[in-house]
Structure 1
Amino acid sequence: MKLTTKLLAATAIVAASGAHATDLEVMHWWTSGGEANAVSKFADAWNATGNVWVDGAIAGGGDTARPIMVSRIIGGDPPAAFQFNHGRQAEELVEAGLILDITDVSEAEGWADIITPSSLLDSCTYDGRVFCVPVNIHSWQWMWLSNAAYENAGLDVPTTWTEFAASADALREAGVVPLAMGGQSWQQNGAFGVMALALAGQEAWLAVNQDKNAEVVMGPEYTRVFEAFGAARSLSDGLNVQDWNQATAAVIDDTAGAQIMGDWAQGEFALAGEVAGTDYSCLPGLGEVALLDTGGDAFFFPVTGDPEIEAAQKELAALLLSPAVQVSFNSAKGSLPVRPDVDLTTVNECTQKGLDLLASGAMVPAGTQLLAPDTVTQLNDLMTEFWSTPSMTPAEVQQQYADIIADAE
């Protein structure tokens, strides 16, 4: 699939890209089974143009991959494209002039009229210029539950966090770990963020993450969250895994009752042949507050100084948002497309819940769009320390959390 006629007419450089095949190295951290299946949809579509997708997957997740990508870029050996979360992660690279301006592609393709919600394109825009292409909407705000684990324990599948917490003892008696949690720090902080939005509510969550209001962190709404998160620490005892997809596998294998994880977990369920509503259930907003945060992934394109590479980079940027590619990729990834004009009539019931929430406007920006990367790192470290230190009290972590938010940019 090539660029639209409008874009070909708009830039001679892009028009020249169709003349011969171009190899593009694309770096990303999608290495689990479901993620690899999803990214192959991008690769297949790019290769079908006669160009070549050179896969630069980095295992270990974003915390491992991002420093490697940045090192390549500032070291003068950049890939042609790289995945970050859309938001503030690439600000310094853009400010340093190391990222290709793709405003011409955005304007020619009409991204401002296509991409929904508009905050996704805003997250790619710096000083009025567009520097990345958002490719999906990923929301952290989900809990996934094993239907068989509950059935075997003689329990109904919970419909809220409150019901889930009440079911934990009975799950233990049935030999099931109530809550699957991996060991990476972003998982603990991510789960806390889900609980904060679900239990403290939208107003308090926005006051903390958007307005950086440390007083709200110390208020009664967030006190409830810290206490609930503290009580949840023991629910993962008995499951010793590191990666998020290993925790998802415990839910798939029915050895864990539930997992708080973003909708990318659906890629693992799909790859395992699990059927939403039959083998597993899903609770947006933990069944307490049905809201989605509109995070996700975007591709940035480093400046290379090579006109041929630049033309191919812009061609790839447009292809990633083409309707057919949006459907194939997001269907495999478990995410939602960034354009609402594509046919998703065959999606499962969990994805449909997400689409319905987006259509109703029940959404907030993702933390990565509101908090600087350094702040996110500090919160990741704090919440994983709390999760793994039973002697650390909710009141202690609450004060430290408030201190970080008070200093946040």
Structure 2
Amino acid sequence: MVRHIAKLLSATAFVSASAVSAAELEVTHWWTSGGEAAAVAEFAKAFDATGNTWVDGAIAGSGGTARPIIISRILGGDPMAATQLNHGRQAEELIEAGMLLDITDVAEAEGWKDSVFPSSLLDACTLDGRIYCAPVNIHSWQWMWLSHKAFDDAGVAVPANWDEFVDARDALEAAGKIPLAMGQQPWQANGAFGVMAVAIAGTDAWREVTVNKNAEVAAGPDYARVFEAAESARSMAENSNVQDWNQATNLVITGQAGAQIMGDWAQGEFQVAEQVAGQDYTCLPGLGANEILDTAGDAFYFPKQDDPEIEAAQKELAALLLSPEVQVAFNLKKGSLPVRGDVDLAAANDCMQKGLEILASGNVLPSGDMSLSPDTQGQIEDLMVEFWNDPSITAADAQARYADIIADAD
């Protein structure tokens, strides 16, 4: 009890530090879809309630669009006060250049090492023993979303796995449906491939390739099956003529498409559309073949400011983002899982509960962002975009090029 009180008292230091003189903090992020906007509004509302002001710096588009803008501003001497990035290696060079605020004192006062689960999330914020970011959610790519209306209209049962989905292709097309919804943003094809790799090649092969950079496995039979599945997915999505990921999600929500391979942030769009998990749509972790989550997600970094009052407010925001109440409010809207293992998510829907059960079972993987450098990720993304948009590139050709990238990966 004494230890608990001490932690509470130390935590209030960050709340009271900036309460004396409120600050305005510009916060950049790329959460602009309906579900994302509803979620980030919970952060803004909580921060404004402290007497400070959240100045929203939303950047339209995906993370691939926003990250270069964010990094350019920091390097160019026009830093925002806080910014979203993903867990992983995206901020390494900024940290090494001394441009991001060390928030180890906040993490220690708030007891993040005891409450953040899995610990790899905090590890991804740590460099040389110091903590530079506040992880705010666990997002996993390992989901497939299926429209009950589309399959009902096609006269077939909602698939329980990838093979059943492929078998339903003809019925969906005969009913005028797009089998697989896929937007044209480069990261979407890359992410879908990653889901297929985990589900079809298996976790051991995935670790060998993504974590250990084993080019022989990347060129072998396990990954040959992945590229064959990707080739099939490419043809099933050929009439999915949308750009943004949430537009592809809307094709599923409205029953125009059978399914979408997309991370659990898609769930926020289903919630905004007032659809009910298990009734209007089904969620399949690991394509129904391998119930596993990768522990990717979002974190907030705090570029250094030459202003003690701003720095105090930055640390107050960092503490607030991981507070139990804010974690629940944000993640229920976002469709993601909280980074705290000690919060009550009884209000979560069936899909979130399924994710929580998988997380509790320990059947998790690190995300590719934590293992591969941005340069390697970019090369893979470029290959996937080319493969997805050019049917003349065979599965075997794409696999050979992929293995070459892995052989030189850092």
Which residue number corresponds to residue 71 of structure 2?
70
Which residue number corresponds to residue 106 of structure 1?
107
Measure the CA separation in 2 of the matches of 1:4 and 1:298.
23
Which residue number corresponds to residue 214 of structure 2?
213
Measure the CA separation in 2 of the matches of 1:4 and 1:255.
51
Superposed displacement of residue 340, structure 1: 1.5
Measure the CA separation in 1 of the matches of 2:240 and 2:77.
43
Superposed displacement of residue 8, structure 1: 4.4
Measure the CA separation in 2 of the matches of 1:314 and 1:232.
45
TM-score by length of 2: 0.97
Measure the CA separation in 2 of the matches of 1:319 and 1:349.
27
> 1:95-174, aligned counterparts within 5 Å?
95-174=96-175
Q: Secondary structure at the match of 1:199?
A: helix
Which residue number corresponds to residue 321 of structure 1?
322
Which residue number corresponds to residue 353 of structure 1?
354
Superposed displacement of residue 232, structure 1: 1.4
> 1:37-56, aligned counterparts within 5 Å?
37-56=38-57
> 1:328-343, aligned counterparts within 5 Å?
328-343=329-344
RMSD: 1.0
Which residue number corresponds to residue 10 of structure 2?
6
Q: Secondary structure at the match of 1:89?
A: coil
Q: Deviations over 1:234-292 (max 9, x none)?
A: 10122200100000000001000000000000000000001000000000000001110
Q: Deviations over 1:91-128 (max 9, x none)?
A: 00001000000000001111000000000000000000
Unaligned runs of 5+ in 1: none
Measure the CA separation in 1 of the matches of 2:128 and 2:102.
11
> 1:14-29, aligned counterparts within 5 Å?
15-29=16-30
Measure the CA separation in 2 of the matches of 1:297 and 1:16.
26
Q: For 1:45, give the aligned amino acid.
A: A
Measure the CA separation in 1 of the matches of 2:45 and 2:169.
44
Measure the CA separation in 1 of the matches of 2:75 and 2:8.
33
Q: Secondary structure at the match of 1:24?
A: strand
Superposed displacement of residue 5, structure 1: 2.2
Alpha-carbon distance change, 314 to 131 in structure 1, aligned in 2, over 3 angstroms: same
Is the CA contact (8 Å cut-off) linking 2:137 and 2:299 kept in structure 1?
A: yes
Is the CA contact (8 Å cut-off) linking 2:172 and 2:258 kept in structure 1?
A: yes
Superposed displacement of residue 15, structure 1: 4.3
Which residue number corresponds to residue 242 of structure 2?
241
Q: Deviations over 1:127-179 (max 9, x none)?
A: 00000010000000000000011011111000000000110111000000000
Q: Secondary structure at the match of 1:19?
A: coil
TM-score by length of 1: 0.97
Which residue number corresponds to residue 264 of structure 2?
263
Q: Secondary structure at the match of 2:243?
A: coil
Q: For 1:163, give the aligned amino acid.
A: E
Q: Secondary structure at the match of 2:71?
A: helix
Measure the CA separation in 2 of the matches of 1:239 and 1:300.
36
Which residue number corresponds to residue 401 of structure 1?
402
Superposed displacement of residue 26, structure 1: 0.1
Superposed displacement of residue 21, structure 1: 1.3
Measure the CA separation in 2 of the matches of 1:396 and 1:237.
20
Name whichever of 14-23 and 399-408 sits farther off.
14-23
Which residue number corresponds to residue 83 of structure 2?
82
Which residue number corresponds to residue 34 of structure 2?
33
Is the CA contact (8 Å cut-off) linking 2:24 and 2:55 kept in structure 1?
A: yes
Q: For 1:192, give the aligned amino acid.
A: F
Which residue number corresponds to residue 4 of structure 2?
none
Which residue number corresponds to residue 285 of structure 2?
284
Measure the CA separation in 2 of the matches of 1:381 and 1:237.
18
Superposed displacement of residue 7, structure 1: 3.4
Q: For 2:216, give the aligned amino acid.
A: E
Measure the CA separation in 2 of the matches of 1:317 and 1:232.
41
Q: For 2:71, give the aligned amino acid.
A: V
Measure the CA separation in 1 of the matches of 2:238 and 2:393.
16
Which residue number corresponds to residue 389 of structure 1?
390
Which residue number corresponds to residue 92 of structure 2?
91
Measure the CA separation in 1 of the matches of 2:369 and 2:306.
30
Measure the CA separation in 2 of the matches of 1:7 and 1:146.
45
Q: Secondary structure at the match of 1:18?
A: coil
Measure the CA separation in 1 of the matches of 2:71 and 2:342.
34
Q: Deviations over 1:2-34 (max 9, x none)?
A: x9421345x7xx743110211000000000111
Superposed displacement of residue 401, structure 1: 0.5
Q: Percent identity?
A: 66
Is the CA contact (8 Å cut-off) linking 2:35 and 2:268 kept in structure 1?
A: yes
Q: Deviations over 1:190-219 (max 9, x none)?
A: 000000000000000000000000100011
Is the CA contact (8 Å cut-off) linking 2:21 and 2:309 kept in structure 1?
A: no
Q: Deviations over 1:56-91 (max 9, x none)?
A: 000111111001111110111100000000100000
Q: Establish whether residue 302 from structure 1 lines up as the match of residue 303 from structure 2.
A: yes
| Greater than 3 Å deviation, 4+ residue runs | none
Superposed displacement of residue 355, structure 1: 0.2
Q: For 2:254, give the aligned amino acid.
A: D
Q: For 1:132, give the aligned amino acid.
A: C
